[in-house]
Structures are given as C-alpha cells and as structure tokens.
C-alpha cells in the first residue's frame, strides 16, 4: 500500500481535483484506490457523490482516535475507488490534539493499525486542506510521498519553496523516509505567457521531479464535481480527463522505476 499525500498550502490549486481524477484513473486500470479526505471543506467527498448525511465517520474521527479507518471508509460509484470522507469537524482537530505529545503521529498510527488489519488498497491519496496545519503534517508523517499540485500563476515559485521547506522539516524530524513523489503543474493555459514562464522556471529548479504531464485549464474539470462525479466519468474525452489519465500512467511508470531501483 503506497500512501501519497496531495498537498499545497495554497488554496484552489487543484489538490482535490487531482486526488479525485488521478485516483479514478488509477482505479480504471485496476488499482485498488482509497481517497482520504482530510479537508474540512469535504470537497473530495462531495465531488465523489458522498453527501454530508451519508458520512457516518470521517477522517476527523480517525485523527482523534474515535474510529478506525476501516469503520469510516465508504464505497463510491467508481469501481475500485473508495473514500474515507472528511467533514467540517476537521476544522477543530488542531485545538483538540494540540497538547497531545503524539499529535503529529495520529494518522500514521491509524495507518499502521489499518495495515495490520489487512488493508486491501494499492494506493491511498490523502487530500489535504490549504494550510500547513497539524492535519497536513499528520498526512505527511503518515505518507510515503508527497505530490504537489502547482498552479501556473504569479508567485508560484514562492509557494513551491514553502511547501518544499515543510517537506524537508517533516523529513528531518518526523518522517525521514518521506519522498517527493513529484510536482504536477495545474490549470495550465497555453494562451498565457505566464503559464509557460512558470512551467520553465519550475522545471529548471526541480528537473525530473516535475511531471511531464501538465493539467490544462479545462472547464469540464470544474463542472464535474457538481454532478458528484470525477471528470473522467463525466466526460472522459475532455482535455482535463485525458491529462489525468496520462498523469496516472506517468505516476505508475515512476513507481515501477522506484521499485526497480
């Protein structure tokens, strides 16, 4: 079971869209995928058609030790793809576990118990909130790797250095094995020079860590969640869906190379 945290402290850069559509594309080729929604907004849950009333237990309950992962997981309309929902209670986790000496290891411990119980997933994608909060740190401590969606926009590099510093901090103290799975450029607009400049700059800085696949700005990607469907099911031929299918291929290729190394 490979645990990949999708994180960027900046809001609205495509974390949730990436978790949902990358997860769906991996599930479509037979991987057993779990998306863990760790954001109080619950967008990954809603985007997969899980209404608030249907969420019995959430990642909040898992984080505070009130539920096991297995108890919180629900299936989705997508074969091979399950969700561990998030809900608004997550906004209060910080205060609740603040004084706990193990506060950064809550999720890691939940995953350890989940593995011991025989978790059946090949890949877990953790969708993080737009902050470097305790929840995001927990997600990095529990993970094997971090995938950073980066929007091609002004000041993208500043945001990128901040998340890379945080990953480095987690690695130096809390989770020495944490890898950078990669950076994926999102909302790329080929008519906008800035998009190209950002892409070039990020590739110069990070080289092969940056995925070749670029996610274009595509309105279908933003329409799909209101139907409770991944874009890949809503319109599998749109440019956004095609890009996420390619991203999944590239990710699997990287995983094969990692295992061979």
178, 221, 229, 248: which one contacts ligand ATP (CB under 6 A)? 221
Q: Which stretch binds ligand ATP (CB under 6 A): 28-36, 76-84, 115-123, 214-222?
A: 214-222
CA 70 to chain centre: 19
The H-assigned helical ranges of the chain are: 15-28, 43-47, 59-63, 69-72, 93-97, 106-116, 134-142, 156-173, 193-206, 219-223, 231-234, 239-260
Q: Residue 242 corresponds to which tokens in the numbers above?
A: 């095609």
Q: Are 100 and 134 in contact (CB under 8 A)?
A: no
CB closer to ligand ATP out of 187 and 229 = 187
Closest CB to Mg ion: residue number: 16
By the rule CB under 6 A, 217 interacts with ligand ATP: yes
Q: Residue 35 corresponds to which tokens in the numbers above?
A: 């998306």
Enumerate residues 133-192 that contact ligand ATP by CB under 6 A. Answer: 186-187
By the rule CB under 5 A, 10 interacts with Mg ion: no
By the rule CB under 6 A, 39 interacts with ligand ATP: yes
Of residues 39, 226, 25, 244, the one with CA closest to residue 126 = 39
Site string for Mg ion, 12-41 (x = CB under 5 A): ---xx-------------------------
| Contacting residues for 68 by C-beta, under 8 A, at least 6 apart | 62, 110, 113, 114, 117
By the rule CB under 6 A, 130 interacts with ligand ATP: yes
Q: Which stretch binds ligand ATP (CB under 6 A): 81-89, 176-184, 200-208, 217-225?
A: 217-225
The entry of ligand ATP, Mg ion, none near residue 52 (CB within 5 to 8 angstroms by kind) is none
Of residues 67, 139, 62, the one with CA closest to residue 104 = 139
CB closer to Mg ion out of 43 and 175 = 43
Q: How far apart are the first and last CA of the chain?
A: 18
CB closer to ligand ATP out of 230 and 240 = 240
CB closer to ligand ATP out of 86 and 123 = 86
CA-atom Rg of the chain in angstroms: 17
The entry of ligand ATP, Mg ion, none near residue 146 (CB within 5 to 8 angstroms by kind) is none
Using CB under 5 A, list all residues that contact Mg ion: 15-16, 43
């Amino acid at each position: 079971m490979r645990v990949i945290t999708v994180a960027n402290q900046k809001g609205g850069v495509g974390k949730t869209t990436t978790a949902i559509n990358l997860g769906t594309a991996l599930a479509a080729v037979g991987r057993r995928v779990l998306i863990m929604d760790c954001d109080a907004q619950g967008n990954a849950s809603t985007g997969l058609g899980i209404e608030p009333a249907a969420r019995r237990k959430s990642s909040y309950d898992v984080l505070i030790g009130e539920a096991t992962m297995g108890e919180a997981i629900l299936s989705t309309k997508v074969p091979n793809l399950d969700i561990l929902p998030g809900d608004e209670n997550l906004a209060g986790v910080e205060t609740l576990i603040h004084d706990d000496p193990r506060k950064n290891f809550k999720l890691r411990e939940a995953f350890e118990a989940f593995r011991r119980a025989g978790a059946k997933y090949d890949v877990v994608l953790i969708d993080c909130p737009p902050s470097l909060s305790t929840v995001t740190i927990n997600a990095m401590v529990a993970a094997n790797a971090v995938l950073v969606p980066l929007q091609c926009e002004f000041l993208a590099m500043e945001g990128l250095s901040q998340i890379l510093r945080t990953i480095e901090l987690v690695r130096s103290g809390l989770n020495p094995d944490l890898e950078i799975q990669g950076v994926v450029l999102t909302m790329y607009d080929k008519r906008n020079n800035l998009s190209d400049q950002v892409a070039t700059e990020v590739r110069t800085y990070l080289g092969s860590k940056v995925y070749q696949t670029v996610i274009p700005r595509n309105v279908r990607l933003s329409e799909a969640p209101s139907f409770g469907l991944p874009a890949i099911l809503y319109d599998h031929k749109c440019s956004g869906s095609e890009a996420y299918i390619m991203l999944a291929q590239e990710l699997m290729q990287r995983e094969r190379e990692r295992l061979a190394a």
